[in-house]
A and B are shown apart, each in its own frame.
Chain A
């Protein structure tokens, strides 16, 4: 009796307990979150790290834009982004990289002035455990990541547009190159040559270097236009310089009759506004904010992955945005430096 009684009590207690557990357990399950196992390590990997940035110079739309964009992406994770500004001096740049190697930041973003100068230094930096991200201008050393425009493609697409426009016209074109020492200029010229090889009827009446200088570009273009008033197109190598090219075309009263192709970072005042005004007919933009995001993305990936610097190597060529009359007025084709800095 006692046994059966106690047995029933036990059962009761158990049932009660089970019910209680069930009743209590369900809300507990709903309130308790699941730990995402990787984010903690990611945050830890990034926090307190330093990313150094060595452009050829600050104070122009491309380099200011990259800096602002990378900072915006990385600073919220506690990454310190520092800049070393060589102000167009290759020597000062090499010195900055050398000093940085001993300071051991997590990554260095490098904007090469040419293909040779930093090559050895970059290799040394990766051997010392620093990720090297190269932007827009690669060196002969292939590092963990390259983010940037494909200059050959820019030359080809700019020239194709000119060739198209020239169909049925004089077929005379001019080329306004950048600085002879700059690889970006030489690569772009290669792209131009690729297209010209396929179009033997196109005649290049002038191919001169204007040193990225708007005043020089204007002087050259003026002389060329006086000599060849039936010119049908000009391939320029940078919109910051070709503002001079366009001014010469405008002064000759040939806007609309001479096609002007160029390329640049897509800053609103330097690109969209000038396409809208008719100064440029095509401005291929390598959209600086996107490049900045991609660089920051690469850094996030590399730093969190923990791969040995230099053991993986890859490229991220920028998808170009062709800015023409059709999209120049849109809000998305171009960007504002002041907005990016906010």
Chain B
């Protein structure tokens, strides 16, 4: 019975542990401190996005527009600085844009009651289109001298630990504190678990839902800044990539159910570690691109199948449905 109570989080952690042990035993240099830091650094942005998605998913929503929030506001910062504006002014403008974007998302979902999937699908397209049509001259917004020093956010070190990892850790602590230690965080769990019940007990559900999307957009903005600083440019075309699926994967794989109300920061960390370990190990082994996709697919399928064997659909999922 022990394995039955493991849950998805436990299964994924076990998969991660096995993979990690195999790589550590077979790949020379895998276990070195510097490679561990590289591993973490390479998935830090993905992890931060996972945190943003987690906040929304726990509240029984989904935010497909996250990649637009990652790409467009930081792109705006780079573009404005390139055009001669000061860094603080550019950051402020992008912050306002992100907040407004989150508010619109939240308002549509909470007050107009449009399903979150469709709302964010459309609003993400809108924001990405706005960026391409009106804000940027080119898809890849290049670094400019006015940003001198800002690249430390993505390339610097703190006590030997690369900045993206430090930022991921800080985001983890902040989101964990918010979800577990504040009243607003508890409300999000309540809404995710049972929205109608939450409303009946007097929780201001609509403003809380708006807050979720604003927070998600702002965290996305932060992740985008770290990414831009890390590669000295903002490739805004990333909106067209499959990154959003990776983010959902990290969240769901980590064990945050799409039906809401479950999971937390730890799940995101575990999901991120699994993806990071797979990517790093396969890069060291120089596995071909298609080979990597194959392995990724098999591992994910295995995790999902194991989960549905160990945690069969029950009354609750039958009533609420899941994705």
Contacts and interface: CB of A to CB of B under 8 A. Distances in A.
A226 B38 contact: yes
Nearest to B283: A223
Contact of B29 (A57, A180, A226, A244): A226
A226 B235 contact: no
A218 interface: yes
Contacts of A223: 35, 38-39, 42, 280, 283-284
Interface in A89-105: none
B138 A243 contact: no
B235 A215 contact: yes
Interface string B258-276: 0000000000000000000
B138 A61 contact: yes
Interface stretch (A134-142, A165-173, A206-214, A315-323): A206-214
A91 to B, nearest CB: 14
A208 B240 contact: no
A166 to B, nearest CB: 18
Interface residues of A, number: 35
Contacts, number: 88
Interface string B30-44: 001011001101100
A220 interface: yes
Nearest to A209: B289
A60 B138 contact: yes
B35 A227 contact: yes
A269 interface: yes
Interface stretch (B55-63, B190-198, B226-234, B306-314): B226-234
A59 interface: yes
A213 B227 CA distance: 12
B183 interface: no
Contact of A226 (B34, B132, B241): B34
- Chain B interface main SS type: helix
B238 A215 contact: yes
B232 A243 contact: yes
A224 interface: yes
Contact of A337 (B32, B41, B137): B137
Contact of B235 (A57, A87, A88, A214): A214
Interface in B89-135: 132
B150 interface: no
A59 B139 CA distance: 5
A243 B29 CA distance: 26
Interface hub of A205, A224, A247 (most chain B Cβ within 10 A): A247
A269 B143 CA distance: 9
Interface string B151-163: 0000100000010
B155 A220 contact: no
A209 B86 CA distance: 37
A126 B45 CA distance: 48
Contacts of A57: 139, 237
B240 A88 contact: yes
Contacts of B235: 213-215, 240
Nearest to B234: A214
Nearest to A246: B232
A269 B155 contact: no
A247 B231 contact: yes
B290 interface: yes
B279 A219 contact: yes
B18 interface: no
A27 B35 CA distance: 89
Given A60-B138, A64-B138, A226-B34, 14 more contacts: A60-B237, A61-B140, A208-B288, A213-B238, A215-B227, A219-B42, A219-B283, A223-B280, A224-B283, A227-B29, A243-B231, A243-B232, A243-B233, A244-B231
5 shortest A-B CB distances, which residue pairs? Answer: A219-B42, A209-B289, A214-B231, A223-B283, A60-B139
17 contacts: A64-B138, A180-B290, A208-B283, A213-B235, A213-B238, A215-B238, A219-B283, A222-B38, A223-B39, A223-B42, A226-B32, A226-B34, A227-B284, A240-B235, A270-B140, A270-B142, A337-B138
